[in-house]
Structure 1
Amino acid sequence: MSPRNYDNDLSNEEWQRIAPLLPSQKPVGKLREVSLREVLNAIFYRAANGTKWRNLPSDFPAWQTVYGYYRLWVRLGLWEQINQALVQQVRVHEGRQAQPSLAIIDSQSVKLGQKGGKSRA
């Protein structure tokens, strides 16, 4: 890919955190022709700029390739793992523990019992 810098490109530290989570080359079949780091940079570019897949800049891999990896990673649960890894890294960088020690549940999202239930007469 051509040398370029977007604000949302992965730093080396972020890439080192994510790279072990990504699938390795398949033992058989066609070799991967794109850089997974560039695929991730394209996904983050799209998220940061709100563009359509088809409108990704041409210095990223083809939009169909980027979209295909994104859909696969979402389906495999890998995207959630990537998100958790990056959130943990940000927390540690800010001097906090990697895992939160407190969670808040919105009472509006908790199902309540049936209103006006049957009376036991």
Structure 2
Amino acid sequence: MARVLERFDPPGSPAAKPARQVLARIAWHLRMGGAWRMLPAGVPSWRTVYGWFRRWSEKELFEALMRALARRQRCHGGRHSTPRLAIIDTQSITCNGMRGPCATTVPKNWSAAMVRQAHREGVTLIDAEGDVLALASLIAANALNNLA
């Protein structure tokens, strides 16, 4: 994967950190979660890792890489590289509409009307084998109803 990312977005200077090290740090962060500053000390620094992650995300290189891997997997399984069938899956999520430090400390005696609930929908397009083809970020639930 690091070679693919370097080919699509080569480093600007010869002193740049190897993409393999940066990618390993990104994978660690995605697996463990937390703030970027909480990456273990070492080479490369958290600023470098975060900078490359933002750059690759803005260029949508991770999405392109996942599409290429899905095409390769389909061809390896003896199927067409692009699917003929896709399934649209939506997931409705109820979120606490409050923001800030009080969002997690709502008193138990409050009624549901006192706490504003936010409803979000995540939309996923998957093929018949369960590979993700497209993923929409969480949007307001009533936005889909307004389109109809």
**The two structures share one fold, judged by TM-score above 0.5:** yes
**Distance between the aligned counterparts of 1:91 and 1:58, measured in 2?**
39
Query: Is contact 1:54–1:63 with CA below 8 Å preserved after alignment?
Result: yes
Equivalent position of 1:46 in the other structure: 29
Equivalent position of 1:104 in the other structure: 87
Fraction of identical pairs, as percent: 34
**Distance between the aligned counterparts of 2:18 and 2:86, measured in 1?**
37
SS of residue paired to 1:79: helix
Query: Is contact 2:5–2:61 with CA below 8 Å preserved after alignment?
Result: no
Superposition pairs for residues 38-77 of structure 1, below 5 Å? Answer: 38-77=21-60
Give CA-to-partner distance per residue, 1:25-73, whole Å, 9 cap, x none. Answer: 43xxx43420011111111111111132111122441000010111111
SS of residue paired to 2:84: coil
**Distance between the aligned counterparts of 2:83 and 2:14, measured in 1?**
40
SS of residue paired to 1:57: coil
What residue ranges of structure 1 are gaps of 5+ in the alignment?
A: 1-13, 114-121
Equivalent position of 1:84 in the other structure: 67
Aligned CA distance change for structure 1 residues 92 and 60 (closer, same or farther; 3 Å)? farther
Aligned CA distance change for structure 1 residues 107 and 39 (closer, same or farther; 3 Å)? closer
Task: Give the AA of the match of 2:41.
Answer: S
Equivalent position of 2:127 in the other structure: none
User: What is the TM-score when the length of structure 2 is the normalising length?
Assistant: 0.49
**Structure number having the greater strand percentage:** 2
Deviation at residue 107 of structure 1 after TM alignment:
7.3
Give CA-to-partner distance per residue, 1:3-34, whole Å, 9 cap, x none. Answer: xxxxxxxxxxx445x246432243xxx43420
Q: Which has the higher contact order (CA 8 A, sep 6+)?
A: 1
Question: How many residues are aligned here?
Answer: 95
Deviation at residue 92 of structure 1 after TM alignment:
5.4
**Structure number having the greater helix percentage:** 1
Query: Is contact 1:42–1:60 with CA below 8 Å preserved after alignment?
Result: no
User: What is the TM-score when the length of structure 1 is the normalising length?
Assistant: 0.57
